[in-house]
Every structure is written in structure tokens, then in C-alpha cells.
Structure 1
Amino acid sequence: MTIEKSRPATAQGMPPLEPITAGPRTAVSAAVARRLFRAAVSRLAVTVVEEPTGDRLGQGGPLMRLHRPDEFYARLGRDGLIGFGEAYLTGAWDADDLAGFLTVPAARMATLVPRPLQRARALVTPRLPSHQRSTEANSQANISHHYDLSNDLFRLFLDETLSYSSALFDTSVQSVPAGPGSVAEHLLATTPEPVDHDDPRRHGPDLAEAQGRKIERMLDQAGVTEGTRVLEIGTGWGELAIRAARRGATVHTITLSVEQLELAEERIAAAGYADRVQVELMDYRALTTTGRTYDAVLSVEMIEAVGHEFWATYFRTIDAVLAPGGRVSIQAITMPHDRMLATRDTHTWITKYIFPGGFLPSVEVVDQITRQQTSLRLVDQLEMGSHYAETLRRWDRRFLAQRPAVLALGFDELFMRVWHFYLAYSQAGFASGYINVSQLTFTREDR
């Protein structure tokens, strides 16, 4: 396939904020939103202060200030959770500890809105736009929207490994009961201690070590050694490919990000492994046309961009190119199965502003699809959501500390606010358990 270099639709990679228009519909929806929000907050361990009246809501806890309540309720009433996030972008509300505040409602997300109203809400919830669906025609633009913003931007807040995925800190690992009928060994990485480097513009060395630990475990799980033929779906900036080549493997790594490909090739060459690693612009669906097979297939937090309509295609592709005796290691951000079923096709703040077309699977649906449509079998799961919360906390801390450098790259204050909300919102999701991340290992069942 031919993939041309493209840039986001705007310099900041964001759609314009839509203004609030006055009228009866806005007034009614804002009144409903105000009533629902106040009822929800009354049950939460947070403090919400409405200005200029000084009215205080909630049971006490992380503070949210409503600077412009009328705008906040209008946006919430018109656009739901998208409007909630957009009201933060415009400054209608703020929080001193944004992640701390968002963690509280995230832990109760499934029950904040009364169940009868949840069913009604499903009728008006916006659907994912057709141009964001992760077809072969759309996928490169979806990836470019985020990953082709600027390599220099990502360098400002990532550690030196340039790993843009959950780290695995040095903590104990516990065995936990697996779900009904599961044959996977279910392991849980215990919560890491939060550690801050003295200079918020830098990461302590343990983050780079934790990112390396994450990758090395995946390589171990996939059985990567001298002579292993490795396929990586989603190159990132090349760290996994470098480490696999260092073990003596030959690596074919594919990506849809031109910016990532260029820097990955530079880093791979600088590490001395250009002869062992091929980086290619390719959609994963094209892999079956190459005639190549691999002993190990690895993919780090790429399945989130596949889209639920194409999960089966994704795993069937892996199954088709995996050599006999091969192993698969995937790191995947997941959500509970019931929430996944309830939110399929939903357009969210994240899909609008950060990851077009993104959607999180459940571990259960991954197990179902691979059992029903492939010869792959899930044999090991390491759950590490608390480690992602700590990873994101460190990224957000460094991102905010690098504000002058971000602005010097040509990004604006609204971009800073969007990305702070994105990183804090994600941290809250993992800290609350609303979303999770796991390393999943698959072997092939004899055909």
C-alpha cells in the first residue's frame, strides 16, 4: 500500500471548540445536566465550589471550582462527557489536583447516572464518525493525528527509551484467581510507590529501567532469543526492536506513523542494528500478502487503535503469520467487559481530541475471539493498571514542567490544557480501576 506523510487537520491536531448557543433547548438540557451533576456529586468524596455564589457541593475531597457554571452545565447538557472535558478546555472549571479529582467519579462511573437514564442516554450519545473507523482507508490518518504531531514533543515528556506505554516498575507479582473457564495464568503486579525526581523536567532513572523491564518481560514471554524471527505490530520509536535485535533476533516492525518510522530508523542505526531490523510503513492487514512467517509476534498498546469491528481480523492476521511453535505477546489497555459492550461505537472526548477511532477491548472478548476464530490460546496475563497510573503521573508532571519548551515548538495554551486533561484523565482511569492494562501471552493450539 502507498502511505503518504500527512499532518493533523490543524496545527494543534485538534478540532475547534464549538461555542454554546442560547435557546430553549440549551436551557432545558443545561437544567437537566445541573440536576444530574449535583445529585451525582452529592454522593462523591469531592468538593465542588460554584462561583460566584460560593455554593459547596459534595462530601469533601479533591476540589473542583466551577468558574462559569452556566457554561459548564450548558456544555454538559449538550455534549455529555465530551462537554465535561470541553468545559475544562475553555476554563469553565478547574481543579488543583486534576487527576485526583477525576479519579473519584471514575471509580463510580458505571453508577453515577441512574440506570433508567443510562438507557435513555444511549439514544442520544454521539456515535463514532464514519471517517474515524479504523478501515485501511482511515487508519493512517487516525494514527497520524496523534503520533505525527512532533517527535520533539514526545521527547519532552517521555524517558530516554521513548516508550509511550505503561512501564513495569520493580514490585512483587501475585497470582490471583482467573475468570471462569480461563486457562490463563493471571498475575497481578502490585502497586508501585510514587517517586518524584527533584527536577520535574527530568525522570528518575527508575522510569527508564521500568520501561526496559516491561519490554524484556514481553520478549521473554514471546521466547525471543538468538535467531528468532520477530514481527512487531506498532513500532513506536524503536525500543522493542532494538532490544530484540540485541538478543540476536531479526525484526520486522511495522507502523503507520511516518514521524515514528524516521526516528525509529535513526535510533536503530545508532544502536548498530540496522542490518537486523526492517522498519516498514504497513497496515497490519497487509501482512498476509507478504508470505512471511514469524516465530514471535509482539505488539505494545496497538490493539486499542484497531476498532472492535476489526479485532477478529487483527488476531486472524497474527494467527496466519505465526510459524508453528510460535508465541505472541501483546500489551493491551482494556476495560471491563460490560462497559465495553455498553460503549461500543461511542464518540468520546478521547476519540475527538486524542485518539480518533480508538476503542478498548476487554480481556474476555480477546479470549473469546482468539478461541473462536484462531488457533491462538491465552496462557498468561499480567495485570498492571496501577503501574500505568504511576507512568502517566510522571509524564503529566514532566509535560507541565516543560510548558515553555512545548510552546516553543509552536503549540498553544489550549494544546497544553488538552494534553494535561488527557494525561490526568487517563491516570484517573487506571488509578480508579475503570480501565486496566495487561501483558497477554498466547501460544498456538495444534491444528
Structure 2
Amino acid sequence: MTTTTHRRDRSPSLNAERWPSIARVPSGPKVRVASPVAAALFRNAASRLPIRVEMPGGEVIGGGADDPNAPVMVINRPADFASRVGDSGLIGFGEAYMAGDWDAPDLAAALGVFASRMATLIPEWLQRLRGLYIPKQPRAEKNTTKNTRSNISRHYDLSNEMFELFLDESMTYSSALFGTLTPAPSWDDFADAQHSKIDRLLDRAGVTAGSRVLEIGTGWGELAIRAASRGATVRTVTLSTEQLELACKRIDAAGYSDQVRVDLLDYRLVDGEYDAIVSVEMIEAVGHQYWGEYFSTIDSLLAPGGKVAIQAITMPHERMVATRNTYTWVHKYIFPGGFLPSIRAIEDVTEKQTTLRVRERLSMGDHYAHTLRLWDERFAARVEEAAMLGFDDIFARMWHFYLCYSEAGFRSGYIDVQQITLDRRSAT
């Protein structure tokens, strides 16, 4: 394999007004000190990983340098790469990809190498100092009732048309539940797998004809439609104006507008009593400071004998504790204010602050990896259509990085996704 096999000019055209952090390579005293340290740390980490890192001029480094099957990472501009990483750590790592400072022919595979060893990549002594050099979460991104709508809008109000480019016909933006993972699921399996995920949640929540259902986090309305098709009445709440508009159209087209009420409302302001409460991958947007409020609200709204079914992306408890005050690339560019809980955190919060108890869990991490793979393949095939909608090549690289970063996390086991059933039954 030659060092020019994968190297190509992938420098995106820069819109300095829209992407100021990408258009400007960091400089100044901090960067002059941190840049060589970052370069040395990267080389040291790569030497311990099964990855092949191709540098300009033909140099190849990494623990997989002599392995033709190792995932490949191509550094196009080493100085800029080191400056960005030195300035803001893993945020800079992602920004360097957005700027074209590095590439990978199989991005998910390359990121998977790092994700599988995330806890040990940075020396422990340096991890303890992360608060001194990693940016802090902006106050405007904390999930107060004042800020939450803005946080949600920055992701979910990007454009319904953009999401339609890569989601399946069900317009479901969460992990599918495939019937089998061998052979690898294809696009033809996708809509049925999304319905299987939704139906399992509705089954666990006990949704049948006559059930009063609350959904926290509407998405584009598919779960509400399927709950209504069982004869339930549904109230679903969202903070995304774009999602609300399309969800109402889809619910009306399906013939369930008399059974489904869609509100633009913070979950903390919901009233009423419900036999079943369902929430799909919404707890990640709550923020760890508000998990107690989230579950206490659900507890106060659940009717006697009712059940709760949530789908939640989770992470190991020790990593959650270590990173809960860390501001990341995902926060800055994808999900402001978000944070992943651990199963232990969910159990602790519900046991201490509510009458709810976790009764059943289903781990689906491998299913999410395939879900993200299919989304990424679909988006890549329609990237020119995204450009026609106004999403430039920097956005395309950002979105590709986000989908592959997430896929790598699930494939490595660094993160998981679980369907969790809760109720108030007495412990036996």
C-alpha cells in the first residue's frame, strides 16, 4: 500500500461566518505550547493502537503501520491538526476532520479503534487536568426551561427535508430493532425494524385500545401513529417546531388527528394522568442535572397501574462520572446540553426520587451500529441533494463524522442503547 492511495485534497470550502472555528486555525501562546504536546500524545496513542496513520511525505506511524488490513487515518496537514487538538482536545480532533486536516477511507473503522480504548488514550495525570484546558459548557446550553427549546431547535429544526434525505419512510430518528444482524441488515429491512422497535416499546408499556398515552419527544410522529392504530388516545410533546409541523401532517394523513394531540411544550409543563408513558431517546437531551426532575415528572403523571417504557442511549457508569462535566465536540456541533446516563444512574435516580422501579432492560447497541451505518450510507448517497438544500460541504463532513463517531461508539461497546421498562409494582 502506498501512502498516496488514500490521500487526496479533501479541504472543504470554508464559510468563515458560519464555521468560524473551522475557518481559523488556532494560534497564540497556549497553542504554541500545547501543539507539540498534542502531536506527541497522538503519536504515542497511535503507536499503541491497531491503526495505520499515513503522514505527508510517506511516513507511516501507528501500531498497525505494517498491517495492510488495519484501519487507515490520513493526516493531510499535521501542523493544523496538532494546533486544533492542542487547543481544544477531542473537540479539536473533530474540527480537524471538518476542516479536512485529516481523512479516513473508512471513518467508522478508524474512529472505532480510538473508541474501543477511549478510557486509556490520554494519560491519567492529564485527564485530571482536563478542566484546565477543555472548554466549559456555555451557560446558555444548560437545560433549563428557558434554554431547552433553543438546544432542541439547533438540532431538530435543521430542516425536515434534510432529515428526510437519510431516514427511512417511517421518519424514525432512533435505533431500529432488526430481526437479525446476520447477514448485515439492508435498507429494505429498515422500516420494518423501526416499527419493531416502536411496537416493542408500546407492548412493554401495555398500550391497547383505550389506553391514555403520553409520549415525551414526538419525533416526526410515527410512535404516536402506531399507538393510535391500537385504539389509544395519545398526547405527544415536542420542542421542535419543524418536527411538530411535519408530525401533525403525517398524523392527519394517517387518519388519527382525532386521537392524537401534539403540543409544543416542555415535558416539565405537561399535566394530566396517563396509563402509559413512552419516551424514545429523549433522556439524552435532559442533562444530568435534571434527571431527577425528568423521572419525577413522569412519576407524577403516571396513573395507578401504569407503565413507563423508555429507550435510552447509555454509557458505563465510571465513564459517565468521569465525563459528566466535559464539554465535547458532540455538544458543540450536534446536541447542545445533552449527556448520556448510565443504567446505574437511572436506577439510583428513580429509587431515590420516585416510586418508579426498573423492571426490564433490553440492550440494543449492535442494532444501533447498523442503524447508523445505514443512515450514513444513505446520507452519503444524497449529499448533493443536501447541498441543494443549503447544507455545505463542511456540514456534510460534520454529519458524516457524527454518524461514524456514534457508530464506532456502539460497535466498540463504549456506549449502548437500551429499552427500559419501569412501573410501581412492589418488589417481590
Interval containing the TM-score (normalised by the shorter chain): over 0.9
Pair 1:47-2:52 in alignment? yes
In the other structure, the counterpart of 1:29 is 34
Output the CA distance in 2 between the equivalents of 1:420 and 1:19. 21
Output the CA distance in 1 between the equivalents of 2:261 and 2:173. 20
In the other structure, the counterpart of 2:130 is 121
Q: Is the 8 A contact 1:65 1:93 kept in 2?
A: yes
Secondary structure of the 1:316 match is helix
Pair 1:193-2:183 in alignment? yes
Displacement of 1:55: 3.5
Displacement of 1:18: 5.7
Q: 1:15 to 1:386 in 2, by over 3 A?
A: farther
Displacement of 1:27: 2.3
Displacement of 1:194: 1.9
Output the CA distance in 2 between the equivalents of 1:146 and 1:13. 15
In the other structure, the counterpart of 1:84 is 93
Displacement of 1:20: 2.5
Secondary structure of the 1:431 match is helix
Q: Is the 8 A contact 1:295 1:323 kept in 2?
A: yes
In the other structure, the counterpart of 2:280 is 300
Cα offsets for 1:300-332 (capped at 9, x unmatched): 000000000100000000000000000000000
Q: Is the 8 A contact 1:335 1:434 kept in 2?
A: yes
Pair 1:158-2:167 in alignment? yes
Q: Is the 8 A contact 1:333 1:436 kept in 2?
A: yes
Q: Is the 8 A contact 1:252 1:279 kept in 2?
A: yes
Q: Which amino acid aligns with 1:62?
A: P
Output the CA distance in 2 between the equivalents of 1:212 and 1:21. 46
Aligned length in residues: 409
Cα offsets for 1:368-389 (capped at 9, x unmatched): 0001110001000000001000
Q: Which amino acid aligns with 2:119?
A: A
Cα offsets for 1:268-326 (capped at 9, x unmatched): 11111000000001000101xx3x10000000000000000100000000000000000
Q: Is the 8 A contact 1:169 1:192 kept in 2?
A: no
Secondary structure of the 1:226 match is coil
Cα offsets for 1:181-227 (capped at 9, x unmatched): xxxxxxxxxx553244xxxxxx31x1100000000000000000010
Q: Is the 8 A contact 2:88 2:133 kept in 1?
A: no
Pair 1:353-2:333 in alignment? yes
In the other structure, the counterpart of 1:342 is 322
Q: 1:39 to 1:374 in 2, by over 3 A?
A: same
In the other structure, the counterpart of 2:406 is 426
Secondary structure of the 1:169 match is coil
Output the CA distance in 1 between the equivalents of 2:98 and 2:265. 35
Q: Is the 8 A contact 2:16 2:22 kept in 1?
A: no
Identity %: 57
Segment of structure 1 superposing worse, 76-85 or 10-19 = 10-19
Secondary structure of the 1:325 match is strand
Output the CA distance in 2 between the equivalents of 1:214 and 1:15. 39
Cα offsets for 1:421-441 (capped at 9, x unmatched): 110111101111111100000
Output the CA distance in 2 between the equivalents of 1:68 and 1:424. 21
Q: Is the 8 A contact 2:312 2:418 kept in 1?
A: yes
In the other structure, the counterpart of 1:362 is 342
For structure 2, which runs of at least 5 residues remain unmatched after alignment? 1-14
Cα offsets for 1:223-272 (capped at 9, x unmatched): 00010000000000000000000000000000000110011011111111
Displacement of 1:443: 0.8
Q: 2:388 aligns with which of 403, 408, 411?
A: 408
Q: Is the 8 A contact 2:34 2:87 kept in 1?
A: yes
Output the CA distance in 1 between the equivalents of 2:370 and 2:378. 13
Cα offsets for 1:104-162 (capped at 9, x unmatched): 11000001112122112243322211100010000000010010111011111000000
> How is 1:91-130 mapped onto 2 (pairs within 5 angstroms)?
91-130=100-139
Q: Is the 8 A contact 1:15 1:353 kept in 2?
A: no
Q: Which amino acid aligns with 1:37?
A: F
Secondary structure of the 1:208 match is helix
Pair 1:234-2:217 in alignment? yes
Displacement of 1:411: 1.1
Output the CA distance in 1 between the equivalents of 2:175 and 2:105. 25
> How is 1:249-288 mapped onto 2 (pairs within 5 angstroms)?
249-287=232-270
Output the CA distance in 2 between the equivalents of 1:253 and 1:21. 44
Greater RCO between the two (CA within 8 Å, min separation 6)? 1
In the other structure, the counterpart of 1:70 is 79
TM score, norm. by length of structure 1 = 0.89
TM score, norm. by length of structure 2 = 0.93
Q: 1:436 aligns with which of 405, 412, 416?
A: 416
Q: Which amino acid aligns with 1:34?
A: A
Q: Is the 8 A contact 1:67 1:94 kept in 2?
A: yes
Displacement of 1:446: 5.5
Displacement of 1:52: 2.7
CA RMSD after TM alignment:
1.7
In the other structure, the counterpart of 2:351 is 371
Pair 1:324-2:304 in alignment? yes
Secondary structure of the 1:440 match is strand
Q: Is the 8 A contact 1:192 1:387 kept in 2?
A: no
Q: Is the 8 A contact 1:375 1:446 kept in 2?
A: no
Cα offsets for 1:38-90 (capped at 9, x unmatched): 11111111100111343333324100010100110111111100000000011
Q: Which amino acid aligns with 1:363?
A: I
Q: 1:405 to 1:50 in 2, by over 3 A?
A: same
In the other structure, the counterpart of 1:175 is none
Q: 1:16 to 1:43 in 2, by over 3 A?
A: closer
